[in-house]
Structure 1
Amino acid sequence: MSTSPNLAHLLPPSWKTDIDRWYAEDTPSFDWGGLVVGEEEQEAFLWAKSGGILAGVPFFNEIFKRVDCTVEWLYPEGADLPYDSKTKVAIVRGPARQLLLGERVGLNMLARCSGIATISKRFSTLARSSGWQGKIAGTRKTTPGFRLVEKYGMMVGGVDPHRHDLSSMVMLKDNHIWASGSITGAIRTCRRAAGFSLLITIECQSYEEAAEALDAGANIVMLDNMVGEELQANAKKLKEVYGKGPGGKGREFLIESSGGVVEDGLLARIGPDIDILSTSAIHQSVQHVDFSLKIQPRKKS
């Protein structure tokens, strides 16, 4: 029986240094409140106060491991937490001072990662409900210093993380074309340097630009800010002229739709010739999932 892969295994060796940076930001000097609570072992309950998809478990675990605390999860990562009740999600154990050191760092990360996973799941479910088999993908418009967490949340929510950085794939947008002089020249220059192993994506504003890009060897044409009949007609014509069907040029390529892809307009972008819908709506201005961490009161003797 197949099981879902553990997404934590994707994280690079350097990911834990992010947590050092988060702690350095949150406690750069003295921990004044820590003086009050001391080192007695305590239990704290992690509560989800709003529903959504739980995401960010490996980061949360490491945040509390750094301060000598342990986390016992009551729900697995990817669980759909109920919207109609307050839900105990985990129990965190450790010295009171250490629990409070990790509290805000852990909650901030978990709230945002889970929020991204939640809206990613909504986008994915909506697209699949129409029968479309293409990919919803996030963009590189992420929070500086927090990209790894945000891309991780997208994957927990079931969407494609797209490229992670400028080195992941060649993407030539309008500024690259304008600065270099032509689509054909830009593609040829990149292909000489990037070799055979990197895909080349070209942002196109018209059918003519997309055709030039494919003639020059692009792997993906991004039809930017095209909507409605213009988008679907151009995508269909590109597949007919350049694809592997009867009368086509036998090229294997993908068509990506981008620019202003939001939840309410998602289904209008979907079509049989669209392979990828890329959007920043799953990670910019996202509603976070509301979590709190509460130390349990001491029992009176």
Structure 2
Amino acid sequence: MSENLLLSTGVKQKIIDWLSEDIPSFDYGGHVVGNEVKTADLFCKKKALKNNTFYCTSTLLSLKILTWIEWYYQEGEEIDVDKSESKRIAVAKVTGPVNKLLQGERVALNLIARCSGIATKARKLAELAKQHGYNGLVAGTRKTTPGFRIVEKYGMLVGGIDGHRMDLSSMIMLKDNHVWATGSITKAVESAKRVGGFSVKIEVECRSLDEAKEAIQAGADIVMLDNFKGKELVSAAALLKEYCCSGDLSSGRSGVLIEASGGITENNIAEYFSDSVDIISMGNITQDVNHIDFSLKVTH
């Protein structure tokens, strides 16, 4: 995979900050082991997609500890621990001063564990969509961990789904609180158009078919049907697609995207697969995900 080419140079500072959090003063254990060059194996102990090699490597390189690293799996490749009698599989071998290896160990393992968990869940969802012939996008949300979003969004990309918007500056999303604070969907969209100009898309969260029609009339680019049940959502999406192409609008809005969100999980996502639904976004990709267990063992 080449997603790591998308990452900004700012990620290096994040890694330095994460390491500083873990080593605020003295590394007493590092003094105990010394700086003799050692080799360590990175093991995966649960079936997963190995997808966080960039972050793991960057963490170790930030400490200037690696003299050599070898990965046994490609980015995004499945690791099937179930096929191993020992219930663990070596995914990489690293070499460097042992005190530095152990300084970066926990931060690197935490990164790869959470990111691989997200990527593994994302891959399951992408495969479900493919199995059902769904041609729209399965996407994450902005329900991410503060300071850790770039890792979590990266995991979504490696897993094969859409990352949705990265931040508040990526797109104007008008949720219920924006509408209530402004007075109406129409007023909120008009104000958004003035500040966002032609280059920033506008999405409106809608709780009913009438709200969705108002958002479309006001000029929204994306309409989110929030907390609709499966059959209800699919029916509403189809009606809105027809509405966008009808004579009820002064100008055609056939390009409006329909997004489903709210209460969607791996267990019920199939209910939302429809040609009328362009995007299915899910917060539990990051909020309800199992970490993948990795460990680092120094050769002895």
Q: TM-score, normalised by structure 1?
A: 0.94
Task: Describe the superposition over 1:49-77 as per-residue Cα deviations: whole angstroms up to 9, x where unpaired.
Answer: 11111111111111111222142111111
Q: Which piece of structure 1 moves more, 78-87 or 252-261?
A: 78-87
Task: Describe the superposition over 1:215-247 as per-residue Cα deviations: whole angstroms up to 9, x where unpaired.
Answer: 00000000000013321121111101113x899
Amino acid at match of 1:276: I
Amino acid at match of 2:256: F
The CA distance in 1 between the partners of 2:11 and 2:102, in whole Å, is 22
Amino acid at match of 1:83: V
SS of match in other structure, 1:141: coil
The CA distance in 2 between the partners of 1:37 and 1:120, in whole Å, is 39
Query: Are the counterparts in 2 of residues 240 and 247 from structure 1 also a CA contact under 8 Å?
Result: no
1:225 aligns with 2:224: no
Out of 234, 237, 257, the residue aligned to residue 235 of structure 1 is 237
Q: How far did residue 209 of structure 1 move?
A: 0.3
Query: Are the counterparts in 1 of residues 46 and 292 from structure 2 also a CA contact under 8 Å?
Result: yes
> Pairwise mapping of residues 100-119 of structure 1 onto structure 2 (< 5 A)?
100-119=102-121
Out of 76, 79, 90, the residue aligned to residue 78 of structure 1 is 76
Give 1:216's aligned residue: 218
Out of 93, 97, 106, the residue aligned to residue 91 of structure 1 is 93
1:31 aligns with 2:27: yes
Out of 3, 10, 22, the residue aligned to residue 6 of structure 2 is 10
Out of 278, 293, 299, the residue aligned to residue 296 of structure 1 is 299
Out of 263, 272, 275, the residue aligned to residue 272 of structure 1 is 275
The CA distance in 2 between the partners of 1:107 and 1:229, in whole Å, is 42
Amino acid at match of 1:103: E
State the identity as a percent.
Answer: 49
Give 2:290's aligned residue: 287
Query: Are the counterparts in 2 of residues 204 and 224 from structure 1 also a CA contact under 8 Å?
Result: yes
Query: Are the counterparts in 2 of residues 64 and 71 from structure 1 also a CA contact under 8 Å?
Result: no
Give 1:61's aligned residue: 57
Give 2:16's aligned residue: 20
Give 1:177's aligned residue: 179
The CA distance in 2 between the partners of 1:87 and 1:185, in whole Å, is 57
SS of match in other structure, 2:205: strand
Amino acid at match of 2:69: V
Amino acid at match of 2:81: Y
The CA distance in 1 between the partners of 2:9 and 2:107, in whole Å, is 20
5+ residue gaps, structure 1, are none
The CA distance in 1 between the partners of 2:283 and 2:188, in whole Å, is 26
SS of match in other structure, 1:175: helix
- Runs (4+) of structure 1 exceeding 4 A deviation are 245-249
Q: How far did residue 178 of structure 1 move?
A: 0.3
Query: Are the counterparts in 2 of residues 204 and 210 from structure 1 also a CA contact under 8 Å?
Result: yes
Equivalenced residues, count? 292
Q: TM-score, normalised by structure 2?
A: 0.95
> Pairwise mapping of residues 33-52 of structure 1 onto structure 2 (< 5 A)?
33-52=29-48
SS of match in other structure, 1:47: strand
The CA distance in 2 between the partners of 1:9 and 1:295, in whole Å, is 30
The CA distance in 1 between the partners of 2:146 and 2:291, in whole Å, is 18
The CA distance in 1 between the partners of 2:96 and 2:288, in whole Å, is 34
The CA distance in 2 between the partners of 1:193 and 1:246, in whole Å, is 29
Q: How far did residue 192 of structure 1 move?
A: 0.9
SS of match in other structure, 1:263: coil
Give 1:142's aligned residue: 144
Task: Describe the superposition over 1:250-278 as per-residue Cα deviations: whole angstroms up to 9, x where unpaired.
Answer: 31110000001100001011112000000
Q: How far did residue 288 of structure 1 move?
A: 0.8
Query: Are the counterparts in 2 of residues 116 and 154 from structure 1 also a CA contact under 8 Å?
Result: yes
Query: Are the counterparts in 1 of residues 44 and 81 from structure 2 also a CA contact under 8 Å?
Result: no
The CA distance in 2 between the partners of 1:223 and 1:277, in whole Å, is 10
Q: How far did residue 93 of structure 1 move?
A: 0.5
